[in-house]
């Protein structure tokens, strides 16, 4: 994936130990969802963005705020509404009477963690204001480019049940999110624990484990994770299986394959490895690929989901063996 120096074992162990401390800190507030927290941190280390789709009140905003507090990062929350303007997100240039010149006033997108709450309630024009900054990590206002702070993570939320007055996210914008996650309801024991400590379990109560500069170093380390040649082909074949699936109208694009390998590199490092395995790719297929699929009308009528299609696709692709030879497909 890269030509940089391979990671040393002390670097890998140090990364995994710090990632475990970050996850433990976030898990103190987001109870009973260790895999969701791990995937959100994976997106942070892979320089990706997270789309959280779930019902209200399950901790979507808390998760984003807890990550920001844990890495001592600046965070901003944007409540998306139908009357929100693009300039309300990116910022505006205002004429200063005192200096007789124009000054740029940055919008809330200039933060390390940006929470785009109920993103599907804003107009498509305002939604598109996030596109450039999510991909390029800069905002262009009046022809001038302004870089956002690093690291930079957008955590967007949307409510799947109240569809009145919402604008469906276009495929081009969905493709900008590295992973799409669902927090889900907690189990009974966890919910009882939440009730016991409802007033004290707050992101504001968290102590920072590290700082944004160290997170930037972790992002750079994730780019140095080794990917064996057969796994490049395996990732491509997983995407090809979605494109050739009879129930899929539009399969995963090359950008989706790049996202899968980037996420797998960070995921492997969190696990304490300087190389990725086929299991990493298989674990990440659903959160990385599901929101990039468009099912056929027939599949939608029959109630099929992207997750089902991906399970079939993964089962149809032989897993490469260490020698480079594919293993037989499991019946």
Task: Note the pLDDT of residue 41.
Answer: 95
Task: Note the pLDDT of residue 322.
Answer: 67
Q: Where are the domains of the chain?
A: 1-197+205-223, 225-320
User: In what order do the strands lie in the sheet containing 179-181?
Assistant: 75-79, 113-117, 153-158, 50-53, 179-181
* List of residues 6+ apart from 125 with CB closer than 8 A: 86
Give the pLDDT means over successive 10-residue stretches in the chain (331 positions): 73 94 90 90 94 79 87 88 89 83 88 89 83 85 87 86 67 86 82 70 81 92 93 94 90 93 96 94 94 88 88 90 54 43
138-141/91-96 β-pairing: unpaired
Task: Note the pLDDT of residue 62.
Answer: 85
Domain 225-320 has CATH 3.50.50.60: no
- The model's pLDDT over 278-326, given as tens digits with 9 standing for 90+, comes to 999 999 999 999 999 888 898 888 888 889 999 998 999 998 876 544 5
Task: Note the pLDDT of residue 331.
Answer: 43
Of 3.40.190.10, 3.40.50.300, 3.40.50.2000, 3.30.450.30, the CATH number of 1-197+205-223 is 3.40.50.300
């Amino acid at each position: 994936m890269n030509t940089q120096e391979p990671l040393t074992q002390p670097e890998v162990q140090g990364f995994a130990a710090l990632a475990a401390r970050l996850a433990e800190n976030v898990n103190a507030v987001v109870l009973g969802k260790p895999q969701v927290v791990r995937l959100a941190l994976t997106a942070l280390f892979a320089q990706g963005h997270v789309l959280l789709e779930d019902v209200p009140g399950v901790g979507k905003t808390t998760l984003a705020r807890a990550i920001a507090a844990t890495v001592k990062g600046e965070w901003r929350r944007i409540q998306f509404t139908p009357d929100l303007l693009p300039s309300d997100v990116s910022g505006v240039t205002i004429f200063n009477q005192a200096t007789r010149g124009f000054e740029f006033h940055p919008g809330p997108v200039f933060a390390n963690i940006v929470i785009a709450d109920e993103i599907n309630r804003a107009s498509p024009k305002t939604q598109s204001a996030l596109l450039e900054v999510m991909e390029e990590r800069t905002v262009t206002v009046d022809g001038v480019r302004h870089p956002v702070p690093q690291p930079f993570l957008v955590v967007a939320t949307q409510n799947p049940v109240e569809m009145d007055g919402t604008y469906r996210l276009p495929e081009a914008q969905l493709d900008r999110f590295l992973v799409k996650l669902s927090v889900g309801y907690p189990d009974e024991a966890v919910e009882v624990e939440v009730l016991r400590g409802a007033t004290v379990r707050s992101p504001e109560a968290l102590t920072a484990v590290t700082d944004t500069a160290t997170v930037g170093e972790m992002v750079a380390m994730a780019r140095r994770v080794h990917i064996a040649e057969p796994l490049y082909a395996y990732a491509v074949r997983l995407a090809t299986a979605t494109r050739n699936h009879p129930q899929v109208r539009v399969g995963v694009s090359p950008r989706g394959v790049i996202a899968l390998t980037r996420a797998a590199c960070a995921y492997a490092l969190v696990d304490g490895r300087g190389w990725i395995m086929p299991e990493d790719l298989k674990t990440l297929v659903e959160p990385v690929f599901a929101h990039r699929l468009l099912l056929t009308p027939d599949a939608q009528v029959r109630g099929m989901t992207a997750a089902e299609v991906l399970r079939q696709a993964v089962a149809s692709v032989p897993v490469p063996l260490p020698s480079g030879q594919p293993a037989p497909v499991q019946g």
